[in-house]
Amino acid sequence: MGVTNSNKEISVRRIDCGGSLQLKLSLTATPDITTNPADIVLILDRSSSMAGSPLANLKSGAKKFIDIIDEATDGAQDGNIGSGSRIAIVSFAGSAVQDTQLITSVNDLKNAVDSLSVGKSTNHTDAFAKASELFDPASDNEKVMVMFTDGMTTSGGNPKVITDAAKADGIIIYSIGLSGNGGIDEDALRDWASDPDSSYVAITPDDEELEDLFEDLAKNISKPGATNIVINDTVDPCFRIVSLSSPTKGTASMIGGNTVQWKIDKLGIKHSEEATLEFTIQHIGPCSGSIEVNESISYSDSEKNVVDFPSPSVEVDCGIVVMPENCPEPVEINISGCTDSIEFNAGELGIESLGRIVQLDVTLRNVCPGKRVALAVILNEVDACGKEHKRGMKTITVPAHTRASCSDVTIRCIKFVLPEDIDVSGSTDSLCGCRKFKARFIANYIDNDFECCSVTI
């Protein structure tokens, strides 16, 4: 079956400037169809909008799909699907028809495809229902539906009820859409298909591409698992990678600050396997708004599986700009003539605060004469839960004193500026709220008489 699932997810949809988020890459591979046989139902739309070249190209694509599965199951296009796999044809317009059961005869399948004729409305619900009836719950074969449609549901109930039940029973659903006539419901295709959309949904506006779509899908279904996998994921320059977890399979490493390389020797060779990798990125730079996290992502393996990863977007909010209080309006005051003084009432003036200044003094005890001291002061603010938040660090050189003996030395006016917008006290009063801090002091002599290996032999 090859690589059947590839996805990229983000942990949050919105962050502030400088914020972080987690990315998760996932990959699923399944063994070769010869060792992991599949029951595949092609569900083909033959509603009125398919008249002409769309139906002709659909038939060519479906027959090429059958030929590829035929060759993949036994190594030759011998007219018989081997290794336990089977294909069925269901077609639909206003209602659905089981044109064949799950069979192995290539000629019977192609004859059923060639006999398709255009109907009227589009009943996806009946199509999925008729397809579901063909699967044997007791069979160990992989169960796959391939829905092709070029229109929106115009009759019948809600198809999602049936597709949700089918997926819950382990049935894989692919959705192929032809949007050339402008009437397709792309969201519905994504709802019906297995997740993620990048692996199980394909939409084209050109019916001439249908043959290629069916060919690519058949090759993907019939391939073995994957070996010698290499994934290079480069994030947008607005982000940098800050941490990388160990993947569930293979190894991962960082290349520079923007690229993760993930290597897996083999995946899905003997049974269906999933591998995941998680890493954290941080927003940098001035960019804001909706940003795709991918700059590029590439995939390669020895089996030449075609794998696409989605490119999720995150909303980066850099719209909050901190502004100090406005400049005060000037008040005009005139002193005329030879007047020595004037009394003037300026009215009311509110006191505003944008922060505090903490000024610390510390005394160093018994500092020896002639020795400079290196002093570090670390200030943290403490919230209501006792958690400390960093507020700054200062390092100071204290000059050597020239007193005759060891003496206490006092260092005064060590200042820390503490803006009000980083207040963690929970107070709503920007001027008079109580804020708690912890200060830590470290000191050592700079000057000493130690010399390493100074003896000359």
Identify the CA nearest to 38 among candidates 189, 218, 168, 166: 218
**What is the C-alpha to C-alpha distance for residues 421 and 419, in angstroms, rounded to an integer?**
6
**Radius of gyration of the chain measured on its C-alpha atoms:** 36
Together in a domain, 162 and 55: yes
Together in a domain, 212 and 169: yes
Averaged pLDDT score across all residues of the chain = 87
Instruction: Please give the angle made by the CA atoms of 164, 169 and 173, to the nearest 5 degrees.
Output: 60
The amino acid sitting at 404 is A
**242 in a structural domain:** yes
**What is the C-alpha to C-alpha distance for residues 86 and 105, in angstroms, rounded to an integer?**
9
For residue 399, the 8-state DSSP code is: P
Together in a domain, 155 and 67: yes
**What is the C-alpha to C-alpha distance for residues 143 and 122, in angstroms, rounded to an integer?**
24
Cα–Cα distance list, 338 to 90, 335, 342, 371 (Å): 107, 8, 11, 61
Together in a domain, 297 and 164: no
What pLDDT is attached to residue 297? 94
Which of 317, 333, 366 delimits the end of a domain?
317
Task: Kindly report, residue by residue over 374-429, the tens digit of the pLDDT.
Answer: 999 999 999 888 899 999 999 999 998 888 889 888 898 899 999 887 888 776 55
Together in a domain, 198 and 238: no
Together in a domain, 286 and 377: no
Together in a domain, 171 and 66: yes
Q: What is the domain-level CATH number for residue 290?
A: 2.60.40.680
Q: For the chain, what is the domain count?
A: 3
What pLDDT is attached to residue 352? 67
Task: Kindly report, residue by residue over 285-330, the tens digit of the pLDDT.
Answer: 778 889 999 999 999 998 888 888 888 999 988 764 444 556 677 8
Q: Residue 187: left if φ>0, alpha if ψ -120 to 50, beta else—which one?
A: alpha
Band of residue 208 on the pLDDT scale cut at 50, 70, 90: confident
Which of 172, 191, 222 delimits the end of a domain?
222
**Domain span at 155:** 38-222
**What is the C-alpha to C-alpha distance for residues 230 and 264, in angstroms, rounded to an integer?**
7
| 41 beta partners | 88, 145
**Dmax over Cα atoms in the chain, in whole Å?**
118
Together in a domain, 73 and 152: yes
**149 in a structural domain:** yes
What pLDDT is attached to residue 296? 93
Together in a domain, 183 and 256: no
**What is the C-alpha to C-alpha distance for residues 257 and 380, in angstroms, rounded to an integer?**
30
pTM: 0.52
Q: Name which residue leads in pLDDT, 214 or 197.
A: 214
Together in a domain, 11 and 75: no
DSSP E strands, 179-238? 201-204, 226-235
Which of 317, 340, 366 delimits the end of a domain?
317
Together in a domain, 88 and 154: yes
